[in-house]
Chain A
């Protein structure tokens, strides 16, 4: 069974640009969550999608947005990039049950210059 796949693995963008990250969950999983990991703030929750609907949202500005498609694949978009957006962005998928653990992808390393 394939794991969570995130693309691309590495990305370098310039301040002010926008970026889109992609996440394909484990087959059959309908929940996809996004987390930002930085040395200073640690792992912070961005948002979660379940069956194409945003179910939970963290405390991030509106520049961070996401969506989920009917095949459960999810994309995360960051507009007007700032230097502080440089981070490892991790995607996690969960099964259909509420009582399930999250499985993480390898992440996308975003560097804003």
Chain B
């Protein structure tokens, strides 16, 4: 079955420390991959996307993600976390013209 796994439900990172959020997908081919962020009570904001080409993609707010076909992974990274990054992060994928399939999300807390 097509699915997205975000193994970490909750992560706490110190402000200024680096961050990596994990995402694995299950799909028969290479899908389009996305990371979204959601602040409490808000909608989803697109951080970055991978459609094809360079496997390291840059997004907004200093985030980047690396697509690894052999591991079916699309992990999100940030070198230095800011308190304002505290939110819930969702990994998602789809194929052209199909609905997005989301992971369950990872809640990021930032400690001072």
Instruction: Spell out A's residues near B (CB within 8 Å).
Output: 4, 6, 33, 35, 42-43, 45, 48, 55-56, 58, 90, 92, 98-99, 101-107, 109
Which chain A residues lie closer than 8 Å to B32 at the CB level? 99, 101
Residue of A nearest to B36 (CB): A104
Q: With A98-B97, A109-B41 as known contacts, state yes or no: A103 contacts B46, CB within 8 Å.
A: yes
Contact B34–A90 (Cβ < 8 Å): no
Determine whether the beta carbon of A99 is less than 8 Å from that of B43. Answer: no
Residues of B in contact (CB 8 Å), total 23
Contact A42 B105 (CB under 8 A): yes
* Chain B, Cβ-Cβ closest to A42: B104
Q: Mark B32-72, 1 if CB is under 8 A from A, else 0.
A: 10101000011111100101000000000000000000000
- Residue among A42, A48, A99, A101 making CB contact with B99, cutoff 8 Å: A48
For the complex formed, measure the closest distance between the CB of B96 and the CB atoms of chain A, giving whole angstroms: 4
What is the distance, in angstroms, from A44's C-beta to the closest C-beta of chain B?
Answer: 8
CB distance from A48 to the nearest CB of B (A): 6
Does chain A have a CB within 8 A of B112?
no
B49 to A, closest residue via Cβ: A101
| Cβ contact within 8 Å between B99 and A33 | yes
- The minimal Cβ–Cβ distance linking B42 to chain A, given in whole angstroms, is 6
Give every chain A residue within 8 A of B17 (Cβ-Cβ): none
Within 55-110 of B, Cβ neighbours of A (below 8 Å) are at: 90, 92, 96-105
Chain A to chain B: the 10 pairs with minimum beta-carbon distance, closest first = A98-B96, A45-B99, A43-B102, A104-B44, A104-B43, A106-B43, A98-B97, A42-B104, A107-B43, A101-B49
Residues from chain B with Cβ under 8 Å of A105 in the complex: 43
Could you tell me if A106 and B42 are in contact, using CB atoms closer than 8 angstroms?
yes
* Chain A residue at smallest Cβ distance from B42: A106
Which residues does chain B contribute within 8 Å of A43, judged by CB atoms? Answer: 90, 92, 100, 102, 105
Give Cα distance in the complex from A99 to B100, angstroms: 12
